[in-house]
Amino acid sequence: MNGGVGQDLARLLAERRTEMAPIDAGRMCRQRHARLQAELARQGVEAALLLHGPNVAYATGEDVRGVDVSYATFERPVALVVAGEDRPHLLADRGDPTLDVERHPAAWPELDEGADDLARVLGEVVGTVAGRRVAVDEQTGAMLRAGVLDGADIADAAHLVGAAKLTKNDDELACIAEAQRRNEDAMAAVQGTARVGATRSQVAGAFLARLLELGVESNLIDPIFQPLPRTVTDGPRTTTETIAFPTGVGDPTFAHGDVVWVDSGIDHLGYASDFGRTWVVGRDPDAAERGLFERWCDVMVAVLEVLKPGATAGELCRAAEAANGGDRPWLPHFYLAHGVGVESAEMPLVGTDLGPEFDDRLIMAPGMVLVLEPVIWDDGVGGYRAEEIVAVTEDGWRHLGGGHPYPPFA
Amino acid sequence: MTAPTPIPTNEDADLRSARRDRVFDAMAMVGLDVLVLGRRDSVAYATGARSLWTAGSRPFGPACVLVEAARSVHLLSTWDEGVPPEVPFEHLYGVTWNGAILAGALAAIPGLAAATRIGVEALSPGFERMAQRLAPAAELVPADDLMRAVRALKLPAEVARVRAAVAVAGVAIEAADAALAGGAGPAAARSAAWEAAAGRGVTVPTSGVDVGPADPAGGARFHVDAGFLVAGYEGGLGRTLPGSGDDAPLVAAQRRLIDACRPGATAADLRSALPGGSARWRVRGSGMGFETPVLSPTLGGGEVIEEHMVLSVEIELDGMRRRDLAAVGPGTTDVL
């Protein structure tokens, strides 16, 4: 019985964890460019001006840096994708010199003088924007003051990039799988440090140090090792009246018996991982906690049984609820599953507050990626939460990651 | 090992109040009814809220709404953990994926619908559409410059926090130095720096830890730079390691640059402090991350250094680099 359903799930995932071809970053960028070009044509957009980091990374292959928002904003690279052109434009001073892009000096679009530079490049590449359909994801204050896009018929580049990246090619899937494998390796190396008397920051520090030893350049989120209360009312007050997670606040010291929810994400060639597990400090899980884990496994198996091309997000949600006695096994401010790619959470979003009608219209297709993150909560006992990444294939799904087990549960 | 410098883990109410007042005063001065902030660091400045750190840029969205008439703060947060007590729970709106739910939450903020001037830190097409529906009479005004002007001039308590943060960066640099001296490569040196910062309870970067070869041909020296966020403020430090006796010209050049960063100085003044063009340099604001002004040989034409700024003074000369944070006083500019 011990770990039985956990082993069943692990076996199911292992059966669908197929060998992946080596990543060809150049091919991956060319295919993404083709997808963006197809969306430009489909949405009737002449050019897309991209400032948001993950969008720039998607369009150009520019490195993702594990830096604070203030650095990412001021020192931001900018991408410009023009309909009909065979490669994107990149305004940046640093990064990989081998990228297949049309290079321009970095603009500093946060600064008034930088917005003028950006307008000049836009003029040289696109010509006058007035009356033209131009997509943009974000305009800085300086761009607004300089009127960089004045007169343009502005489209939302979030829709453009969002549609292009909804399904992934094999290179992209291999990047996610590699990110996840490295993330799992680093977590496996440091789980033993989460012992009685250790602080969150000590465990996080060991994890971050291990990442660097594994060759990971960028960490994407302050790694979460959050001790959970057993009842919702013992935790922070929430707008949803459910458990607060992940708060990312404070530096708790682990005590004997703490149930700790773990969550982290790293980068590999622009693609994010998403590791989630539940750890227990200084003891084995008790019978009630094992029951939560087993129900989590049941929910996972139930969802994976219905996951295939053509299935709707609504069907996934209903399978999860049925395996959890009719209750929704996920956090109401999040989802049963979310996509992952150049963003740590992106479409397809399954079971969000976009509502059941949205879920019933969202149809699974090959190349979509799902981070399944059910949460089983029994108030008074506590909760079990973990995450697994799968990609929809022509005939079902495949597991992305290395097959990390669920210690101390299985 | 030296005793750790105490790190302030909770911001005091006086500092939060002083920063918030500055933001509301600035809004009143330029006639903004509402200010919508999207970036974590700006939200932290205006509210004192602490939240989960994530890397990189965020698509612009209303993470915080400030209403000038009531001087009220409304915050995107599903929970009250990390939210200071002066922001009532009723002023929190939870994370949502649904634009209609977000619009409903914003519409319930008193003073938003009737606003005539709404300041925005940046603008996305999606938020522009939403704002036009929520406040049809309002003009959307870029207010990134307002936040930058407010943030650029530090309160004494902020300078103290930067000083504590620099101490953490120093510990990280020392650990990298020791690792390199022991024969470690760049990755192991970075790893040692991160573990040292984590040993002080700090796991969040601003720029993070860079360790790169100082000699592209493959020498034994490395440029090491550390930037960490400590209790909301940035500590930053950069050195070329291992140190040796040949950095006197670099130190002297950085000193000239720091001395040139006096109230009233312009980018032209800074350029003339380093004649000959042999040094590469950048001077820019630092506080709750990368801030303005930004001055370099090519940037900062209209900028003027002011008293109370904290500046990151970065210089490269003869293949060596050096970065320090410095506070601009009335007569002297002091390295922190």
pLDDT in tens, A239-252: 999 999 999 999 99
CATH superfamily entry for domain B13-152:
Creatinase/prolidase N-terminal domain (3.40.350.10)
ipTM over 0.90: yes
pLDDT, tens digit, 9 for 90 and up, residues B19-28 = 999 999 999 9
Residue A117: how many other CB atoms lie within 10 Å? 19
Residue found by looking up tokens 């969150």 in the block = A200
Are both A4-16+167-400 and A44-164 of the same fold? no
Q: What are residue B209's DSSP bridge partners?
A: B226
DSSP A183: H
Interface test with B, best of A212, A232, A264 (most B CBs within 10 A): A212
Domain boundaries, chain A: 4-16+167-400, 44-164
Confidence label for A291 from pLDDT (cuts 50, 70 and 90): very high
Distances in whole angstroms, Cα of residue B119 to Cα of each of B39, B60, B65, B303: 14, 13, 10, 22
- Residue A225 in tokens: 């090792």
Domain B156-335: give its CATH code. Answer: 3.90.230.10
pLDDT at A240: 93
Radius of gyration in angstroms for the set of CA atoms belonging to chain B, rounded to a whole number? 22
Q: What is the mean pLDDT of residues A315-333?
A: 97
Roughly what angle, to the nearest 10 degrees, separates helices B13-30 and B144-152?
130
pTM score of the predicted model: 0.96
Q: Which residue of A has its CA nearest to B93?
A: A239
**Do residue B52 and residue A333 have CB atoms under 8 angstroms apart?**
no
Determine the distance from the C-alpha atom of residue A33 to the mean position of all C-alpha atoms in its chain, rounded to a whole number: 21
Please determine, for residue B220, whether its predicted confidence score (pLDDT) is greater than 90.
Answer: no
Name every chain A residue with its beta carbon within 8 A of the beta carbon of B229: 68
Q: In chain A, pLDDT over 90 holds for what percent of residues?
A: 95
Task: Please report the residues numbered 287 through 306 in chain B whose beta carbons come closer than 8 angstroms to any beta carbon of chain A.
Answer: 288-292, 294, 299-302
Strand duo A388-393 + B333-335: pairing: unpaired
Q: Which CATH class is domain A4-16+167-400?
A: alpha beta
Name every chain B residue with its beta carbon within 8 A of the beta carbon of A235: 81
**Euclidean distance between CA atoms B257 and B269, whole angstroms:** 9
pLDDT at B4: 44
**Euclidean distance between CA atoms A163 and A155, whole angstroms:** 13
pLDDT at B1: 37
Q: Of A129, A136, A219, nearest to A183 (Cα)?
A: A219
What are φ and ψ of residue A38, in 5° steps?
-60, -40
**Do residue B144 and residue A140 have CB atoms under 8 angstroms apart?**
yes
What are φ and ψ of residue B116, in 5° steps?
-110, -25
* Contact partners, residue B205, CB within 8 Å, separation at least 6: A66, A67, A68, B227, B228, B229
Domain boundaries, chain B: 13-152, 156-335
Domain A44-164: give its CATH code. Answer: 3.40.350.10
Distances in whole angstroms, Cα of residue A405 to Cα of each of A14, A37, A339, A408, B283: 11, 41, 22, 9, 49
